[in-house]
Amino acid sequence: MIAELLDSRQPKTEREHAAVREIERLRHDIERHIAMASELATENEALRAELAACQQDAERYRWVLEHWDTGGPDFGKIMFSSTAETLSADIDTAHKGEGE
């Protein structure tokens, strides 16, 4: 039935023309919604990655706060010898060393 409606060679009543227009409008809406869902999924994936990075930074900050007054293994070395580029990795290494 739909194939006949969409066949431009088939004569149609005004009602059938309206049905064809509605089918095309709905198809366009579906394509638009699929594209929107894809964009949202991509954005969601990026936000989850950003959240994971922020959670890791928060864990590092908590580790620094826990060791600020008491020091602890490698705390002084990390805080005074690390560069901006190595600080996160140095904290991660020290934090992992505590769990062993």
Is the CB of residue 19 less than 8 Å from the CB of residue 5?
A: yes
Residue 44: the pLDDT is 98
Q: How confident is the model at residue 17, as a pLDDT?
A: 83
Q: pTM for this structure?
A: 0.62
Q: How far is CA 91 from CA 64, 66, 98, in A?
A: 8, 12, 11
At 27 the pLDDT is 95
The count of structural domains within the chain is: 1
Q: What integer best gives the mean pLDDT of the chain?
A: 86
pLDDT < 70 regions, the chain:
1, 72-73, 98-100
The whole domain housing 34 covers: 2-98
